């Protein structure tokens, strides 16, 4: 028999995807470590009297230190790291949280908690070096640090809290990245300065990506990395859901700033476009789910080896075809087929040889009947066909099957000749059920099998 791969649950992560993401995660982490280390190295060069082109775009030393602490925490908290490194990673994350908390308290309550890189005396370069990190960066790196302190949590409540922290972190990162893009390109007005340096936002964005990838196997974000229908839909629609709100808001800002139409008309146009975009997404989701539901239903009704319908599929579809035949007052027939000596073939040549005979029988049956006919493997070596045939029509169909078998035996190099016994019956009254037709066809098949044994004995 061919090897069967056990079906994994749809909620199980896609292991091939996780392997690719693990490589991406390592590359991103080392890039972030290099980014923050380079920033601190440039500050050191400048303070020692050297020069560096573009130093005006540097983030503050405090921001670079906090970012490096978070990056090292993620680097040391990987699944392959030892427990000693995990404890060090938690200490780095806790230190980053304390610095960010001090910055937030200073901005919110005008308090200095002493957890600070002291301001250097004088102005100019020294003052820039000792400048506090922005409030936006403090919130972002603070949320990241908090999530890193509980990344190894096994309790359900702690794991959920970690997911919520990353969710909030994603919101902060989206605000910062979109603020940079809007300000730099002047989408809603002339280009304007942004309080958070671009390098600090880039570092936070990359660290957030790593934090999200670390939650790929558990938690609410694991749906993005699974193998099920919901995961496929989520991965496909996430980029679209990310872009659409920004397109709408940018269009709104542009239309309001040009004053080319009344505000009421602008609102009506944008609301209508938003509805149609949402309606299109709804239609796509409904279509996609229905399509996949049909695929799943079809898989549940088919035999994996021969790709014919299984017994469940045969009963469901043959019953429906029988009802249609009754409604149209048409004859309905059932053909029953049983392979001869399949057990002997399995014993002599192995189960793989027997499986090949079953597959070849399925191919012959497919080529001998119409698409509207119900062709199924209903047992180990038993097949059945049901459809709107007259008695002579089902007899001709059985003859076509025998001709297909004869052609296969003449051309095949298989060690065993294909042989089976058939029996068929046709409805004699409108009250006959599918089970009665199957029983009569089965009895006719056994009569044929006994006759063949008498002839060969």
What letter would DSSP give residue 334? Answer: E
Which range of 215-224, 300-309, 348-357, 376-385 scores highest in mean pLDDT? It is 376-385
320-341 average pLDDT score: 89
d(CA 456, CA 131): 100
> Any residues with CB less than 8 A from the CB of 196 and at least 6 apart, and which?
134, 136, 137, 176, 179, 180
Q: What's the half-sphere exposure (Cβ side, CA atoms, 13 Å) at 131?
A: 18
pLDDT band at residue 119 using 50, 70 and 90 as cut-offs: very low
For 424, the 3-state DSSP assignment is strand
Whole-angstrom Cα distance, residue 212 to residue 231?
A: 15
Which of the two residues, 99 and 225, has the higher pLDDT score?
99
Are 323 and 388 spatial neighbours (Cβ–Cβ below 8 Å)?
A: no
**In which residue ranges of the chain is CATH 3.30.70.270 found?**
311-456
pLDDT in tens, 23-66: 888 899 999 999 999 988 888 888 787 777 766 677 888 899 99
Alpha helices of 57-191 — where are they, by DSSP H? Answer: 61-76, 83-109, 125-129, 135-149, 156-185
**Res 424: pLDDT:** 92
Q: What percent of the chain has pLDDT over 70?
A: 84
- Range 337-357 average pLDDT: 82
- pLDDT above 90 for 245: no
Average pLDDT over the chain, rounded to an integer: 81
The greatest distance separating any two alpha carbons of the chain, rounded to the nearest whole angstrom, comes to 113
- pLDDT one-digit tens code per residue, 369-392: 988 899 999 988 899 999 999 999
- Position of tokens 């949590």? 153
Residue 3: pLDDT band (50, 70, 90) is: very low
Contact residues for 132 (Cβ-Cβ < 8 A; gap 6+): 60, 62, 103, 106, 116
Distances (CA, A) of 382 to 84, 97, 338, 406: 62, 68, 5, 19
What CATH number has the domain spanning 311-456?
Answer: 3.30.70.270
pLDDT computed for residue 126 by the predictor = 54
Is the Cβ–Cβ distance between 386 and 330 less than 8 Å? no
Mean pLDDT of 398-425: 85
pLDDT at 252 over 70: yes
Residue 114: pLDDT over 60: no
Q: Are 1 and 351 in contact (CB under 8 A)?
A: yes
Q: What is the mean pLDDT of residues 116-134?
A: 56
Higher pLDDT, 59 or 219: 59
Q: Which of 5-19, 235-249, 277-291, 417-431 has the lowest mean pLDDT?
A: 5-19
- Percent of the chain as helix, strand, coil, to the nearest 5: 65, 5, 25
Q: Give yes or no for a contact between 333 and 394, defined as CB atoms under 8 angstroms apart.
A: yes
């Amino acid at each position: 028999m061919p090897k069967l791969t056990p079906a994994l649950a749809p909620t199980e992560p896609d292991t091939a995807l996780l392997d690719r993401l693990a490589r991406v995660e390592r590359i991103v982490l080392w890039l972030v470590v290099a980014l923050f280390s380079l920033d601190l190295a440039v500050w050191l060069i400048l303070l020692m009297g050297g020069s560096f082109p573009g130093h005006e775009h540097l983030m503050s030393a405090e921001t670079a230190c906090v970012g490096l602490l978070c990056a090292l925490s993620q680097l040391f908290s990987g699944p392959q790291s030892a427990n000693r490194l995990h404890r060090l990673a938690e200490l780095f994350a806790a230190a980053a949280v304390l610095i960010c908390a001090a910055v937030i308290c200073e901005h919110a309550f005008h308090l200095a908690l002493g957890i600070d890189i002291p301001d250097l005396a004088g102005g100019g370069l020294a003052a820039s070096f000792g400048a506090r990190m922005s409030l936006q960066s403090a919130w972002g790196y603070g949320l990241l640090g908090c999530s890193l302190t509980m990344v190894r949590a096994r309790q359900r409540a702690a794991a959920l809290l970690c997911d919520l922290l990353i969710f909030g972190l994603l919101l902060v990162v989206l605000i910062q990245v979109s603020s940079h893009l809007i300000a730099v390109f002047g989408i809603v007005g002339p280009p304007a300065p942004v309080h958070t340096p671009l390098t600090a936002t880039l570092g936070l964005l990359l660290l957030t990506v790593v934090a999200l990838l670390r939650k790929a196997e558990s938690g609410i974000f694991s749906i993005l990395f699974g193998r099920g229908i919901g995961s496929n839909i989520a991965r496909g629609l996430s980029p679209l859901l990310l872009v659409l709100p920004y397109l709408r808001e940018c269009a709104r800002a542009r239309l309001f700033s040009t004053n080319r139409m009344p505000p009421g008309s602008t609102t009506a146009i944008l609301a209508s476009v938003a509805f149609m975009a949402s309606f299109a997404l709804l239609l796509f989701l409904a279509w996609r789910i229905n399509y996949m539901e049909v695929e799943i239903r079809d898989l549940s009704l088919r035999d994996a080896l021969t790709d014919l319908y299984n017994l469940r599929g045969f009963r469901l579809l043959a019953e429906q075809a029988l009802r249609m035949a009754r409604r149209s007052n048409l004859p309905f027939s059932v053909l029953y087929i049983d392979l001869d000596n399949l057990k002997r073939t399995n014993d002599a040549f192995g189960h793989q040889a027997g499986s090949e005979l079953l597959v070849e029988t399925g191919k012959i049956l497919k080529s001998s009947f119409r698409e509207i006919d119900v062709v199924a493997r209903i047992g180990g070596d038993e097949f059945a066909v049901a459809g709107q045939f007259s008695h002579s029509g089902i007899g001709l169909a059985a003859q076509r099957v025998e001709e297909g078998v004869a052609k296969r035996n003449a051309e095949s190099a298989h060690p065993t000749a294909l042989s089976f016994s058939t029996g068929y019956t046709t409805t004699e009254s409108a009250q006959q059920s599918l089970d009665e037709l199957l029983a009569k066809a089965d009895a006719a098949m056994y009569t044929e099998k006994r006759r063949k044994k008498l002839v060969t004995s």
